[in-house]
Structure 1
Amino acid sequence: MQAIISFIKILRHNFYCRWRQLLPQYKVLNSSRSRGRVHQGKIIVLMVRNETTFCGGLSDRFRGITSVYQECKRQGVDFKIHFETPNLIDYLEPNLYDWYIDEKEICYDTKRVYPCTILTYHNQENKHESEVQKRILQWYLKKDYEQIHVYTNMRSGDNEYGTLFNELFRPTKELQGLVEEHVTAMGGEKQYNAMVFRFRQLLGDFKEGGETLPENEREQYIQRCVNVIEKAHETHPEKRLLVTSDSITFLNRVSGLPYVYVIPGEVVHVGFTYDASKKTYMKSFVDYYVLSHAQSVILVRDKKMYHSGFALRAAMLNGAEYKEEWMT
Structure 2
Amino acid sequence: MTLKKIKQFLGKKHKKAKLFAHYIKYFSLKPPNQKQIIVCFDGLFPHGGLVDRLKGIISFYQIAQTLGYDFKIIFNNPFDLNLFLQPNNVDWQIDTNKMTWHPTKTKTLYLVNNFDANPLKLIKNSKAKQFYVYANIDYSKTNFPDLNTEQLEHKWRADFNQLFKKSELLEAKLNAITTTPFISFHSRFTTLMGDFKDTTTKVLSVDEQDDLCNNLVTIINRVKAAHNINAFVFSDSINFINFVKQKVQVITIEGQPFHMDNFNKNNDLDGHLKTLIDFFMIAKSETVYFLNLKPMYSSSFSKYAAIVGQANFEVLDA
Instruction: Indicate the TM-score class for this superposition, using the shorter chain for normalisation.
Output: 0.7 to 0.9
Matched, 1:196 2:196: no
Q: Tell me the C-alpha RMSD between the 2 structures.
A: 2.6
User: In the TM superposition, what whole-angstrom CA distance separates every residue of 1:273-303 from its partner, at most 9, and x where no partner exists?
Assistant: 3522211110000000010010110111122
- Say which of 73, 78, 90 aligns to 1:85: 78
Instruction: Select the residue among 14, 21, 37 that pairs with 1:28.
Output: 21
Give per-residue Cα distances to partners, 1:54-79, cap 9 Å, x unaligned: x3221111111111101111222101
Contact preservation (8 Å) 1:291, 1:297:
yes
Name the counterpart of 2:128. Answer: 145
User: How has the CA–CA distance of structure 1 residues 37 and 211 changed in structure 2, closer, same or farther, with 3 Å as cutoff?
Assistant: farther
Equivalent of residue 268 in structure 1, options 249, 253, 258: 258
Aligned counterpart, 2:139? 156
Taking the aligned partners of 1:94 and 1:170, their CA distance within structure 2 comes to 6
In 2: Cα distance, 1:36 partner to 1:182 partner = 52
Paired residue type of 1:174: L
* Equivalent residues of 1:265, 1:280 under 8 A apart: yes
How many pairs are equivalent? Answer: 297
Answer whether contact 1:36 1:104 (CA < 8 A) is retained: no
What does 1:165-314 align with in structure 2 at a 5 Å threshold? 165-184=160-179, 187=180, 191-208=181-198, 209-236=200-227, 238-256=228-246, 259-273=249-263, 274-314=265-305
Aligned mates of 2:262, 2:124 — CA distance in 1: 29
Letter in 1 for 2:170: L
TM-score, normalization: structure 2? 0.84
Question: What TM-score does the superposition give when structure 1 sets the normalisation length?
Answer: 0.82
Query: How far did residue 256 of structure 1 move?
Result: 4.0
Percent identity, aligned pairs only, is: 25
SS at match of 1:255: helix
2:113/2:136 contact within 8 Å kept: yes
Q: SS where residue 312 of structure 1 aligns?
A: helix
Aligned with 1:63 (options 55, 67, 92): 55
Residue 41 of structure 2, aligned match among 35, 45, 48: 48
Query: What's the CA shift string for 1:244-274, capped at 9, x where partnerless?
Result: 0000111122234563110111211112435
User: How far has the Cα of 1:313 moved from its partner?
Assistant: 0.2
Query: Using the alignment, how far apart are the partners of 2:30 and 2:172 within structure 1?
Result: 36
Aligned to 1:103: 96
Change (3 A) 1:74 1:109: closer
Distance 2:289 2:91 in 1: 33
Structure 2 counterpart of 1:62, which letter? L
Q: What CA distance in whole angstroms lies between the structure 1 residues aligned with 2:11 and 2:96?
A: 22
Structure 1 residue 224, shift from structure 2 partner: 1.5
Deviates more, 1:265-274 or 1:309-318: 265-274
Q: Give the superposition deviation at 1:326.
A: 0.6
**In structure 1, C-alpha distance between the alignment counterparts of 2:211 and 2:135, rounded to whole Å:** 38
Match of 1:19 in 2: 13
Output the CA distance in 2 between the equivalents of 1:265 and 1:280. 7
Counterpart-to-counterpart distance in 2, 1:268 and 1:171: 20
Secondary structure in structure 2 of the residue aligned to 1:101: coil
- Structure 1: runs of 5+ lacking an equivalent: 1-12, 122-128
